[in-house]
Amino acid sequence: MSLRHGLLGILAEGPASGYDLAGRFQEVLGMVWPAQHPKIYAELGKLADEGLIEVDSVGARGRKAYRITPEGLAEVRRWLTSTEVDHTMRLQALLRSVFFWLMPADDLRRHLEAEAAYYQRTADFYRELAAAKDRGEYGDSPPTQAIRIAAEAGIRLHQALADWAAWAQTAPLSTDDDPDA
């Protein structure tokens, strides 16, 4: 249940509406923790019921901005410092790699090339994000510095996968070329 803490963490930066939060999860956070607006609105309702957040203001078009409460701030801090990190890494690309031997050699080559290109693109995206932060385009507030650190992980992870996909094309593997079996 990390979504609630993700929401609390973003709200710790300042008040935001469900729509705002959905946007944030879409752009940057979405690559590391996808969340759709229905889940977000539902979770915000629960957090408000529990007193971890409260309505800050109601604006035009029914916009409801939430503000984190002291209890909510304490809860994110507790999560960050006192709970075990879940190291689960569900990567479909890696699951697929276990079954590469079932792919015709030609399809596999194309697949690895596409994968390498995708990961390289994504690594470059994070590289650009990091560069923009380093140029000071987003200021240097603590939240911005933290996102810079997260971006570095994005760069390193995706570059590692891009290099891996390139390496995999040179690795020995007898593929099963007969699709009729």
Partner DNA sequence: CTCGAACATGTCCTAAGGTACATGTCCGTT
Partner DNA sequence: AACGGACATGTACCTTAGGACATGTTCGAG
Residues that bind DNA (CB under 7 A): 1-3, 17-20, 22, 34-39, 41-42, 44-45, 59-65, 88
Residue 49 gets the label, from left (phi > 0), alpha (psi -120 to 50) or beta, of: alpha
Closest approach, Cβ 59 to a copy of itself, in A, equals: 26
Cβ–Cβ under 8 Å, residues 67 and 41 = no
**Beta carbon nearer to DNA, 48 or 166:** 48
Binds 9: which of a copy of itself, DNA, none (CB < 5-8 Å by kind)? a copy of itself
**Beta carbon nearer to a copy of itself, 34 or 51:** 34
**Beta carbon nearer to a copy of itself, 41 or 169:** 169
Closest approach, Cβ 60 to a copy of itself, in A, equals: 29
Integer Cα distance of 168 and 3 in angstroms: 34
Cβ–Cβ under 8 Å, residues 154 and 122 = yes
Cβ–Cβ under 8 Å, residues 103 and 175 = yes
- The edge-to-edge listing of strands for the beta sheet with 16-17 is 16-17, 64-68, 53-58
The 3-state secondary structure of 132-151, one letter per residue: HHHCCECECCHHHHHHHHHH
**Beta carbon nearer to DNA, 17 or 122:** 17
Orientation of helix 37-49 relative to helix 3-11, angle to 10°: 80
Binds 51: which of a copy of itself, DNA, none (CB < 5-8 Å by kind)? none
**Beta carbon nearer to DNA, 67 or 109:** 67
Closest approach, Cβ 61 to DNA, in A, equals: 4
Closest approach, Cβ 23 to DNA, in A, equals: 7
Closest approach, Cβ 151 to a copy of itself, in A, equals: 9
Cβ–Cβ under 8 Å, residues 4 and 83 = no
Binds 170: which of a copy of itself, DNA, none (CB < 5-8 Å by kind)? none
